Amino acid sequence: MRYAREATPIVTTNNTPYQFGLANVIRYRGKRENFLEAFEIKLSSNYTSEGEDLTLIACGPMVAEAMRAAYILKEEYNMESRIINIHTLKPIDKKAIVKAAEETGIIITAEEHQVGGFGNIIAGVIAQGKSYTNPLIMDMVGVEDRFGETGAPWELTKIFGLTAEHIAKRAKKLYEKKNR
């Protein structure tokens, strides 16, 4: 069951780079009047690490929440995050995922359904491709194993902890765990 079937924020424009099978890397660049203009988006093949503290990996409606989480992480906690928009699941951009795991050491997946579907795909890519020379902490944000509830999609997103605020809180906790 999918929860986000209301209108969702537009996170791409006609100028957003796109190549089938290559993820987009999104970086928050600072407050702007237009939220989308606060972000820079590149094809993963054109992205060079900026030493981010962690990576948020999302697809579909959760990309906008990951972007809002990056804003919260930077503005409230002074943490830098790399967002990977997996707009193509088959073929999936294995190189971008493994690169992020090795370069940031913290991966958080964000999915708008039961935890584990998208997150397990990402975990499998990492398990098959990571060199394991650097430690990795990984977590998945999604609907935990519990009974469903009724409500408007935006209400369910909050109830099930799928908001940017929840993602940012998890990210901060993982960052603190890694840097103890």
Asked if 98 contacts 130 with a C-beta cutoff of 8 angstroms, the reply is yes
Considering the chain, what is the average pLDDT of its residues? 92
pLDDT digits (tens, 9 = 90+) for 147-156: 778 888 778 8
Do residues 63 and 34 make contact, with C-beta atoms less than 8 angstroms apart?
no
Instruction: Round to whole Å and give the CA distance between 66 and 83.
Output: 7
Give pLDDT tens digits for 15-63. Answer: 999 999 999 999 999 999 999 999 999 999 999 999 999 999 999 989 9
Q: Which of 158, 117, 163 is nearest to 140 (CA)?
A: 117
Cβ-proximal residues to 90 (8 Å cutoff; 6+ apart), any chain: none
| Residue range 24-178 in CATH 3.40.50.920 | yes
Q: Return d(Cα 57, Cα 55) in angstroms, integer.
A: 6
Predicted local confidence at residue 6, as pLDDT: 67
